[in-house]
Amino acid sequence: MNPAKSLSDAAPRPYWLDDPGRPAALPALVGDERCELLVVGGGYSGLWTALLAKERDPARDVVLIEAQETGWAASGRNGGFCSSSLTHGWANGLSRWPQELAALERLGRRNLDAIEATVARHGIDCGFERTGEIDIATAPHQVAELREAADEVAGLGLPDYEYLDQDALRAEVDSPTFLAGLWDRTGVAMLHPARLAWGLKRACLDLGVRIYEHTPGTELSAQGPGVAVRTPYGRIFARHAALGTNAFPSLVKRVRPYIAPVYDYALMTEPLSPEQRDAVGWRRRQGLGDAANHFHYFRITPDHRILWGGYDIVHHYGGGVRSEYDHHPATYRKLAEHFFHCFPQLEGLRFTHNWGGAIDTCSRFSAFFGTAHGGRVAYALGYTGLGVGASRFGADVMLDLLAGERTERTELDMVRSRPLPFPPEPVRSMGIGITQWSMTRADENGGRRNLWLKAMDKVGLGFDS
């Protein structure tokens, strides 16, 4: 099938948000409000912060504001991969915090366990399935890399990883492009991302959190012993504030250079027929991702659709976040072509949805944390595409920081350090362009990294999604 034809009926909106269970929007704030804790942002980061704050202290007065609707941005547009990793994968954690990796992996598994328990406790219908994720080699040099990675994780004592040769991998999911895989069997769950956000919203409301939607925070300032946040139709006075704005410009302006918003795109197919399901297997519904620099991520849903996303990482000059960037037809066509190359047995399948969204990329690929206004404001951002699970950990860190508590989390070097900031324009866009070109060249040349990428590696400055 012509890839363009497979896209001809696709709706230009996120599949997850196109759901009859989407809750009605809550009213905007009009007038002034007062509270103990103000949470800015109604995605995972903000929702987890509000929920955990009430679970720590049910009497705490918490207000959450969201510029659009809860789960509208990255939390309702991602692939639904909920990983235990706090460091964008164990390899990135090992390269940056080798002495802390064991603790970071343990805390990450505990965090994923807690997400699973919260979903069950609050009856959140988000299709949570702890199926794991398989990293897939589609080129010979990647097979060697996965074999080496399997030996490394065994040496580090990380649990539940399994190397799959080509036959074992294709017995799980069948594609002629698959050469080998490394399966993290329990460290990743698949879920419906928007329903998780909506379920967290309902849980927050049930615990007494006051939520105002269509209420952007436009300005943050000190106000007596606390802070004040201005909105279009009022102000909120709070003792403390937690910022979960991620890819959007932070109300703490000095952290903005640490984030480069990039756009990621995805397709969703129509449901597979029984014959098509037999042709691909995939009965255990693992998450999948190939091992290239420009990688694809893909998963099968409980109703037998395939989400196929990634590959292109689109950065716009100046780093703006705008609704017109949510669609990129050239990437949709490229993704469709790649899909049928991976699964030629699904020729004729059509896509029902295509969409994109912004990711809060930082140069170390994993979240960073801090405070402002004398410890009255905390922030966590920079999840670089792995925030579905790690955002709950980030919420705990923000609450620890606001309480002034020394915990195992706040003592981590990962929490106490920051990534390198991205340079200002035009150097930022030039550097990102060179990096993308170099990553493509590495994929085409057996994984060999050129001098530019080696220099970036040496100084700890990276670019990913």
Eight-class DSSP state of 281: B
Please check whether residue 313 is in contact with residue 293, taking contact to mean a CB–CB distance below 8 angstroms. Answer: no
Please check whether residue 449 is in contact with residue 435, taking contact to mean a CB–CB distance below 8 angstroms. Answer: no
Domains (range + CATH), the chain: 15-78+194-258+365-416 (3.50.50.60), 428-459 (no CATH)
**pLDDT the model gives residue 421:** 94
A 10 A CB-CB count for 261 gives 22
Please check whether residue 194 is in contact with residue 22, taking contact to mean a CB–CB distance below 8 angstroms. Answer: yes
Distance of alpha carbon 107 from alpha carbon 326, whole angstroms: 34
Distance of CA 195 to the CA centre of its chain: 15
**pLDDT the model gives residue 400:** 98
Eight-class DSSP state of 75: G
**pLDDT the model gives residue 464:** 62
Distance of alpha carbon 192 from alpha carbon 17, whole angstroms: 10
User: Structure tokens of 309?
Assistant: 């996303």
Q: Which parts of the chain register pLDDT below 50?
A: none
The type of residue at 376 is R
Q: What is the bridge-based pairing of β-strands 234-243 and 377-381?
A: parallel
A 10 A CB-CB count for 91 gives 15
Q: What is the bridge-based pairing of β-strands 62-65 and 210-212?
A: parallel
pLDDT tens digits, 215-263: 999 999 999 999 999 999 999 999 999 999 999 999 999 999 999 999 9
Distance of alpha carbon 289 from alpha carbon 268, whole angstroms: 16
Q: Tell me if the pTM is above 0.85.
A: yes
Please check whether residue 314 is in contact with residue 328, taking contact to mean a CB–CB distance below 8 angstroms. Answer: yes
Distance of alpha carbon 297 from alpha carbon 275, whole angstroms: 23
Q: Which of 258, 246, 203 is nearest to 41 (CA)?
A: 246
Please check whether residue 419 is in contact with residue 97, taking contact to mean a CB–CB distance below 8 angstroms. Answer: no
Q: Is the dihedral of CA 11, 321, 375, 212 positive or negative?
A: negative
CA distances from 372 to 150, 228, 290, 400 (A): 42, 13, 39, 14
Q: Which of 192, 179, 197 is nearest to 307 (CA)?
A: 192
Please check whether residue 360 is in contact with residue 384, taking contact to mean a CB–CB distance below 8 angstroms. Answer: yes
Distance of alpha carbon 419 from alpha carbon 414, whole angstroms: 9
In terms of residues, how long is the chain? 465
Q: Tokens 């103990």 sit at which residue?
A: 36
Distance of alpha carbon 328 from alpha carbon 322, whole angstroms: 13
**pLDDT the model gives residue 449:** 84
